[in-house]
Structure 1
């Protein structure tokens, strides 16, 4: 799809093919767009100008990756039917496509057997994982790193399960000594290992967590909502690679195809290694399950109505870009980390910036701005100025407040509770590596303006 004209031409042809499948039905009234439709859509287009250019390579702020054109087209096509994947009656074809799409995710992770489904996003997928943990270990708590997504503490509150925050080390990964100290108390039923924290892209030390599991006996849930697709990357560091290689052994794993999977929002997924956990979902409904004896996705999900179009879009994208380690999809994942490593090297050589203690584990880079005062407060204020100056040059970054211990020991005073506001860049688009010189030139211009 090389142009918008090609995109809409292919979508029109596919829509005609879909409509032909219902040609035998008698004519039914169609809903008119209305006389004001054109003007309203023009207003929508104008209102949507009030966004950052999320799909452009000069947007390197938050983790926003544009959906692939095939996903956009398949989603739009499916929406003419508007299937609901809660039950086969509401989404026959899209439910079958969901099962196939989830099987591809399981195959990518090397799961020989599994139970899983798509969800509206990683938050709900994590909720299901921890809910099942609560069913298996009633009353026992959840533990996650202080760099894990805040949703885990919230979910634990919803489930009325105790939550324990585990300190991270200077690399942003879960500290194993701190974890063991918490495990000795004896009330932790599940440890959440984050494979790609949303702040800095850190990968928790899964091999060490498994060693502790042998001693203390707990479930392991991998929150790979952001980093899951890096299992396909060919350029991970040794520690990250070791963690992803153990994913087939975790009890449950979450991944968000609407991040690196090139999907529209919202599309998450939950996979359980033990299919028998489906027993916890068992229920009956007298009005949704009546036309098939086959397994309904609604019988293994806490969510009810879910957009079948999400499954169709993911299925189509997987057919175009299979999850093979030598394929285009995997190469693009690896390119993101290569861009992050390139960016990190440039930061390390730029005297006005402060690189963190360790190289990026995935494709997220964070960095502080060096101030003449040398304090976290001055550095934070300067970072905010650089953020604004970069945006004026159409380079869009992000700000993140992180512990000063993530930076070399001689950078700031290292009080345990001291934080600094940093700049943060997510190099997740396939074009980021090719655009690195342009990105760097604009960042240097912003630095020069703010530090002269």
Structure 2
């Protein structure tokens, strides 16, 4: 068979139809027959299977390649659609979005320039405008789709850094008439600070490093018992930075922390940012589902942000990747603009040709906006919000279940759909905190190895805890109860086995 026969074009359209149908049939069968979220296979066990195929010698047949794919991937994949996948911020996906994925992959538009995407450019821009309107950012708002929350946070902080540097240089230039020296950007970087809660996403720290900020530039602000940033502590840090002649380039508030789903007190934080003239970025990668929820009021204050991160692939039930960064003032996006004669020459901007690369950190970029477009056109915002509200409701029910179960303790009542908890033993004077940690770690690992369910883990105040992240409306309270029983069983067996081993050693 000629290599050209594998190209997708007008002559191979029917072949494309048959091959994709074969693949869809395989996936549909796999999804319908999935009995648990994971097989429990280990990296060492799977690695030889993936290493076996000779990539220099093709199979030459799609059916054979799909058969092989069953062994190297599909059989042992982690399936987020299963109701007992309760680990990370991975959602099951809605069918209209999957249809959009198929369309965008086949057409293969690149969203960097108008002459590579045409209508795709306008669809993405329309969705940015729609999201900005839901956020309440105003008529001057703009944004761009990104690969995920980490990239969105990075771009927002890049804009904040450039705005802070620009303001500092303008002030120095104004003072220059009186003999002041205008500092360079390199001179200013060591003085820049980012204030964010102790529960914020790790990408804030990573972004600071990528942006050339010194170690310690990210200042952690303490949280209250509900794991929300304490405004009084933020005010103290803002005052301290001012006294030390450090420039707070941004305050990062979180609307849905990864561990707890907690939402920082946005109105009070916005007041402080306004008082100190500081850029406010809100990381709503998780909490953006509230934009289409009956709980929209939980995001009060977000309209005052200078930039916002949203992840549709978390709480809008979209396939990865689908994210965006939004800004209140579209003019700030100029800090990400570079013109290349071969791609987006300056004269194209003068002619008002919409090249999205002018706003993006990426050049070649997928038409991920199409997935959200089809989702909204088929389901509508209220349909998506109904699904998100279901998982938040379920988390509240699960929180009450955990609070009433003497086998477990809960860090805090959930605000969104995340619960952090751990198994605790019956009163046992021989068990110390490390023993309880080991029992919970073992329970998580044993559950993962069994494939019966998947839960996450984290560290709170130096101790190991378990975590449910509920993003599947199909997960029932019965599923949660069953997983709790499994966790308790694994933990108790670990304790019993350990006690037996100690007893045998003593003898």
Give the TM bin, normalised by the shorter chain. Answer: 0.7 to 0.9
Aligned 8 A contact 1:231 1:245 in 2: no
Query: Superposed, which structure 2 residues align to 1:17-416 within 5 Å?
Result: 35-48=60-73, 49-113=75-139, 114-138=141-165, 139=188, 140-161=192-213, 162-184=217-239, 185-186=241-242, 187-235=247-295, 241-242=297-298, 244-289=299-344, 293-308=352-367, 310-323=368-381, 327-356=382-411, 358-371=412-425, 372-373=428-429, 375-391=432-448, 392=450, 394-403=452-461
1:157-182 Cα deviation digits (max 9, x unpaired): 11123322222222211122322222
- Give the TM-score normalised by structure 2: 0.74
Mapped partners of 2:415, 2:21: distance in 1: 39
SS in structure 2 at match of 1:397? strand
Q: How big is the shift at 1:108?
A: 2.2
Aligned 8 A contact 2:223 2:230 in 1: yes
Q: How big is the shift at 1:235?
A: 4.6
Q: How big is the shift at 1:103?
A: 2.1
From the superposition, tell whether residues 62 and 282 of structure 1 become closer, same or farther in structure 2 (CA, over 3 Å): closer
* Backbone CA RMSD of aligned residues: 2.4
Specify the structure having the higher radius of gyration (Cα). Answer: 2
1:45-74 Cα deviation digits (max 9, x unpaired): 222222322211111111111221211111
Unaligned runs of 5+ in 1: 13-32, 404-418
SS in structure 2 at match of 1:142? strand
1:396-441 Cα deviation digits (max 9, x unpaired): 21111112xxxxxxxxxxxxxxx11111001111112xx2113312
SS in structure 2 at match of 1:90? helix
Q: How big is the shift at 1:370?
A: 0.8
Mapped partners of 1:448, 1:50: distance in 2: 25
SS in structure 1 at match of 2:93? coil
- Give the TM-score normalised by structure 1: 0.82
SS in structure 2 at match of 1:55? coil
Aligned 8 A contact 2:337 2:360 in 1: no
Aligned 8 A contact 2:129 2:142 in 1: no
Partner of 1:424: 467
Q: How big is the shift at 1:213?
A: 2.1
Count residues with an aligned counterpart: 399
Aligned 8 A contact 1:260 1:428 in 2: yes
1:126-171 Cα deviation digits (max 9, x unpaired): 1111111011101432111121111111111111233222222222
SS in structure 2 at match of 1:65? coil
SS in structure 2 at match of 1:333? helix
Q: How big is the shift at 1:254?
A: 0.5
State which drifts further: 36-45 or 327-336.
36-45
Aligned 8 A contact 1:195 1:223 in 2: yes
Greater helix share, 1 or 2? 2
State which drifts further: 191-200 or 280-289.
280-289
Mapped partners of 1:425, 1:69: distance in 2: 25
Unaligned runs of 5+ in 2: 1-17, 26-57, 166-187, 494-507
Mapped partners of 1:320, 1:107: distance in 2: 20
Partner of 2:484: 443
Mapped partners of 2:454, 2:121: distance in 1: 38
From the superposition, tell whether residues 214 and 445 of structure 1 become closer, same or farther in structure 2 (CA, over 3 Å): closer
Mapped partners of 1:262, 1:76: distance in 2: 16
